[in-house]
Amino acid sequence: MNKKSIVLQTTLELITKQGIQATSLSQIIKDSGVANGTVYHHFKNKEEIITELYLMLTQDFGTVVMRNIPEDDLKKQFTIMWHNLFDYFVNNPLAFVFSEQIARSPEIPQSLKDKARQYYNEIEAYFRKGIKDKVFKSYNTTVMEELFFGNVVSLVKIHENENVKLLDKHINQAIDISWKGFLRD
């Protein structure tokens, strides 16, 4: 891992544990083990590190969701998209915490959130196609994306609860419930 990646990973670990405000640049430098000059070579300040981290993770979310999507079958596409995001969050708990606590935080400026929307263009196009083909209800696509995301997040939270053993049938039930919520009457 290169030094820039180490700084980003350390920042992710720190802010998911203690929040953005409680994470200082000096702590990032100290915990990463990267020299001051090296950090400042890559980033001007803590905000620039957080901006790059936010954009990087947002791009990951958008890319992961649309990975290995088959052509011309909205239901299969939906199922794979759902599994892709669920598996990503289960296997990347820091990314999950970041998406829940940090990415939706008022500490992330709206201008950065707007810039990151570009990484969801394929997801938006998927919902637009479903609306155009009269498979999905004609809702705002941003609302649809957020509801899709929220359904996955809810099941990840159940999975994280040690008292609940999620089986494949439960995941498939959640996907089916989610899918039916988008379908036209």
pLDDT value of residue 92:
93
pLDDT value of residue 66:
96
User: How many separate domains does the chain show?
Assistant: 2
Same structural domain, 110 and 174: yes
- Single pTM value for the model: 0.89
Residue 11 backbone phi and psi in degrees, to 5:
-60, -45
Same structural domain, 57 and 39: no
Same structural domain, 82 and 152: yes
d(CA 16, CA 21): 11
Same structural domain, 23 and 88: no
**Cα–Cα distances in angstroms (integers) from residue 64 to residues 54, 61, 98, 113, 165, in the given order:** 15, 5, 16, 18, 25
Report the CATH number at residue 31: 1.10.10.60
Dihedral, CA of residue 81, residue 172, residue 88 and residue 48, to nearest 10: 60
Same structural domain, 26 and 84: no
Report the CATH number at residue 66: 1.10.357.10
Same structural domain, 62 and 12: no
Give the residue numbers spanning the domain of 156.
50-182
Per-residue pLDDT of 105-161, as tens digits, reads 888 889 999 999 999 999 999 999 999 999 999 999 999 999 999 999 999 999 887
Same structural domain, 178 and 155: yes
d(CA 143, CA 45): 33
With contact defined as beta carbons under 8 Å apart, do 108 and 100 qualify? no
